[in-house]
Chains A and B, each alone.
Chain A
Amino acid sequence: MTGKGRRMPDMEEKKKTDEKKKKRGSRFWLRGLALWLTVMLAFTAASRIADSITIAKANTEQITGRRIRHTVSASGRIEQNRELAVVTEPDILIESVAVREGESVEEGELLLQLDLESISGQIDAVNRDIQSLELQNQALSDGRSLEDAKRETDIMRAQEDYEETVRENEAAAADARRELREAQANLEQAEQELREAQTNLEQAKQEPETKDLTQEQANPGTGAPDLEVLQAYAAQKQSAYDACKASLSEKEAALEAALQTQKTEEKAAARTLEDANTPQAPDHTAEINQLTIEEYRTKLQKLERLRESKGRVTALKKGTVTGLYVSVGQKTTDTAAVTVSDESAGYRFVAKIQGEDVSYVTAGDAAELKSAGKTVQNCTVTSVEAGENGETYTVSVQLDKDSFRPGESAVMNVIRESDEYPYTVPLTALLQEDRKTFILVVDMENTVLGQQYVARKVEVTVLDKNSDYAAIESAALDSDSQVITDTDRYVEAGQRIRLIEN
């Protein structure tokens, strides 16, 4: 055996061992690859399951054309077109009430039964009142006559006083004038004499030859007057003049005083006379009493009629009791005790609607009324009136007589259809974002997972809408589009969706 022979088997064994190792390594990685593919398969399933859970489910509807129907509903009540008030005399005790609110009554049917004793008491009271007033009037009449006579006497006396005052004052004034005239005449005389005396004095002073003359003149028969005598004479005339002047002044003052007194006393007498002639304030108490008496008589007639009818208050017309404002044991008042609708005048339905609905209701529209177990169609809206606040409107619908009873509640439906819109969607399909309105339509998109439904956002303009549908307008729509009406979770534009088959 050579060395080479022994090395040969070792090398072959080593080679075989290496090959075995390589094969084992290769098998290991192949198993790893198989395991890896198995894991990927499991995660493929898990990913699909997770995707099916997270994908949004959507309800869709075809975009179609339709008319938008606006139904305005409002609850209201039936009211009478005419209501009659049943008024009776006040302060009469009510013995019984024969009707209740909402009850139908025939013409002449008993509404209230009043207490006869109370009526009789009222009648007696009224009679007493009438009597009292009549006596008052009588007393007033008597008193007025005495007053008239007294007044005439006062007038006559005032007149007499006035005339006497005038006479006396005129006489006094005449005397004063006379005395004044006399004083004036005396003054003139004195002035004349003074003037003469002064002239003589002047002459005596100027011409001595005339001195004798002057003396002679001064003392006639004495021969030639003295200058001193002339002076004294002049002084004397001066004094006389001054005295006359003073007297004149006094007379003037006396006249003035007399005139003033005349004026004052005449004025006072005139006022007294005027006061006496002043008419007295008219006293209409008697007339008022008379009117009151007439009222009482009218009331008395009513009470007597009421007593004749044995205290029965009946309905004037056939209708329905719409209001009962009294009760047994109370006394009647001067307001209506009972209100009854006049059936002959018909009824109307009245309801309030909001401002946003008023554009769909106008006078002349057809309306339908529903009440418990009853529906009346082909009614007509008679009026739509704005309320005080401008936010609500009152709608009236005229009714036939036999359709409803007053006081009954009913629901009005007014339906108005618009023109046909080419694109309408359910209201649930409309979405709002940044003050813009849009819808989500379904698009088919070629994705890695195949043909998938994807939500596409389309901005729209709402033309009209009711509680169910909205008419929209958009350039990106066509009649084949399907709009997403509802989803089980939030859906964004571009997101995959799954359609729920209806």
Chain B
Amino acid sequence: MKKGLITLVLAVVAAIAVSPVCFLLAGMLMDNQELTECLAPVFSDGEGFVRWHIIPRYPTLQNLVELLLDAPEFFQMFWNSVKITVCILGGQLVFGMTAAWGLARYQFRGKKVVYMLFIVLMMMPFQVTMLSEYLVLDSLRLMDTLSAVILPGIFSTFPVFIMYRFFCSIPKSIIEAARIDGAGEFRIFLSMGLPLGSAGILSSLVLSFLECWNMIERPMLFLKSKELWPLSLFLPQIKAGRAGFAFCASLMAVLPAIFVFLSGQDYLEQGIASAAAKE
């Protein structure tokens, strides 16, 4: 009984949480006339309330076909997003992982200061650092290039923090045993650190993916050429009256994130649990 009640409450909350996605799916299959009728209060000075049909009265694939075959700019932005995300994640694996291992397993002068810096930088919102980033990128002549978005992402502090927690949880005795067996530091990192910290690495990659895939401020600020814009900047360009097309584009944009989340869901849970436990 108690379990059923809990399930019911959770189901209701889940339904509310999932409802925007359901609206998205329904809107994607509606034609422009039906959407105009439902969304008329939005476009007509806010009089009345929006009506919505969970199941469209006149379903059509017109918007989907238009998006997939008649909107090459969507795919240009999609692959820009893929490029940015893959480069950032790759960079984080190279630099973030090694930085987190170094902070977690080694003692050096100024370690606490560096760690504090990482924490402070992680806490700062983008609006605080964007001017300094702009000046640095401009002096490096990286403005209006994908590197202006990728490089700051590679050297982001949040993934380091996540992976640091996991690397810290690796028992010293295992590392020492490996050293005694004659493994070098890099070997220890590759053979011991990466497998044992894989949960943290993957969870940070999932979170980083979600952050990079939905990035808006940096591209809007640093990328002037529209051909470099990521997918997150496509939706604002869709004009009013093309709501169905916008719904389709939104769904296409969210699908990769869903795939990545579902594939890395367990590691994400482990990462969050680990962080909570450490706290």
Asked if A48 contacts B72 (CB within 8 A), the reply is: yes
Asked if B69 contacts A33 (CB within 8 A), the reply is: no
CA distance A501 to B73 in the complex (A): 24
Any B CB within 8 A of the CB of A467: no
Contacts of B255 in A (CB 8 A): 36
Any A CB within 8 A of the CB of B173: no
Asked if A43 contacts B68 (CB within 8 A), the reply is: yes
B218-241 contacts to A, CB under 8 A, are 224-227, 229, 234, 237
Asked if A449 contacts B225 (CB within 8 A), the reply is: no
Contacts of A32 in B (CB 8 A): 259, 262-263
CA distance A446 to B237 in the complex (A): 14
Asked if A50 contacts B69 (CB within 8 A), the reply is: yes
Stretch at the interface among A22-30, A173-181, A421-429: A22-30
Known contacts A26-B263, A33-B256, A36-B256: A51-B227 contact under CB 8 Å:
no
Contacts of A29 in B (CB 8 A): 259-260, 262-263
Stretch at the interface among B75-83, B93-101, B121-129, B164-172: B75-83
Any B CB within 8 A of the CB of A11: no
Known contacts A446-B225, A448-B76, A448-B77: A47-B71 contact under CB 8 Å:
yes
Known contacts A36-B256, A47-B69, A47-B72: A446-B266 contact under CB 8 Å:
no
Any A CB within 8 A of the CB of B102: no
CA distance A47 to B92 in the complex (A): 33
Asked if B69 contacts A46 (CB within 8 A), the reply is: yes
Asked if A43 contacts B75 (CB within 8 A), the reply is: yes
B5 to chain A, nearest CB (A): 27
Any A CB within 8 A of the CB of B70: yes
CA distance A46 to B65 in the complex (A): 11
Q: Which residue on A lies nearest to B261, using beta carbons? A: A29
B146 to chain A, nearest CB (A): 14
Q: Which residue on A lies nearest to B234, using beta carbons? A: A448
A14-55 contacts to B, CB under 8 A, are 22, 25-30, 32-33, 36-37, 40, 43-44, 46-48, 50-51, 54
Asked if B266 contacts A26 (CB within 8 A), the reply is: yes
Asked if B82 contacts A37 (CB within 8 A), the reply is: yes
Contacts of B259 in A (CB 8 A): 29-30, 32-33, 36
Any B CB within 8 A of the CB of A450: yes
Range class of the A interface residue count: 20 to 34
Any B CB within 8 A of the CB of A145: no
Asked if A44 contacts B79 (CB within 8 A), the reply is: yes
CA distance A30 to B256 in the complex (A): 10
Indicate with 1 or 0, residue by residue over A276-310, a CB within 8 angstroms of chain B CB atoms.
Answer: 00000000000000000000000000000000000
CA distance A32 to B266 in the complex (A): 17
Any B CB within 8 A of the CB of A447: yes
Any A CB within 8 A of the CB of B91: no
A35 to chain B, nearest CB (A): 9
Asked if B72 contacts A30 (CB within 8 A), the reply is: no
Q: Which residue on A lies nearest to B263, using beta carbons? A: A29
Known contacts A47-B70, A446-B225, A449-B227: A33-B260 contact under CB 8 Å:
yes
Contacts of B260 in A (CB 8 A): 29, 33
A interface majority secondary structure: helix
CA distance A95 to B256 in the complex (A): 109
Any A CB within 8 A of the CB of B264: yes
Known contacts A26-B263, A449-B76: A50-B226 contact under CB 8 Å:
no
Of the residues B72, B73, B76, B263, contact of A33 by C-beta under 8 Å:
B263
Known contacts A29-B259, A32-B259: A47-B225 contact under CB 8 Å:
no
Contacts of A446 in B (CB 8 A): 224-227
Among B70, B77, B227, which residue has the most Cβ atoms of chain A within 10 A? B227
Contacts of A25 in B (CB 8 A): 262-263, 266
Asked if B72 contacts A51 (CB within 8 A), the reply is: yes
Contacts of A36 in B (CB 8 A): 255-256, 259
CA distance A447 to B225 in the complex (A): 8
B84 to chain A, nearest CB (A): 15
B278 to chain A, nearest CB (A): 22
Among A30, A40, A450, which residue has the most Cβ atoms of chain B within 10 A? A40
Contacts of A40 in B (CB 8 A): 75, 78
Indicate with 1 or 0, residue by residue over A44-72, a CB within 8 angstroms of chain B CB atoms.
Answer: 10111011001000000000000000000
Q: Which residue on B lies nearest to A35, using beta carbons? A: B259
CA distance A28 to B255 in the complex (A): 15
Contacts of B225 in A (CB 8 A): 446, 450
Asked if A50 contacts B70 (CB within 8 A), the reply is: yes
Known contacts A29-B259, A33-B259, A33-B263: A449-B72 contact under CB 8 Å:
yes
Asked if B226 contacts A447 (CB within 8 A), the reply is: yes
B37 to chain A, nearest CB (A): 28
Q: Which residue on B lies nearest to A50, using beta carbons? A: B69
- Between A and B, 12 residue pairs with Cβ closer than 8 Å are A26-B264, A28-B263, A32-B262, A36-B259, A47-B69, A47-B70, A47-B74, A50-B70, A446-B224, A446-B225, A449-B227, A450-B227
Q: Which residues of A contact B (CB under 8 A)?
A: 22, 25-30, 32-33, 36-37, 40, 43-44, 46-48, 50-51, 54, 446-451
Closest 8 CB pairs of A and B: A29-B263, A448-B73, A33-B259, A44-B75, A29-B262, A450-B227, A47-B72, A51-B72
Q: Which residues of B contact A (CB under 8 A)?
A: 68-79, 82, 224-227, 229, 234, 237, 255-256, 259-260, 262-266
11 extra interchain contacts, Cβ-Cβ under 8 A, other than A26-B265, A447-B73, A451-B227? A27-B263, A29-B262, A33-B256, A33-B259, A36-B255, A36-B259, A40-B75, A50-B69, A446-B227, A448-B73, A449-B227
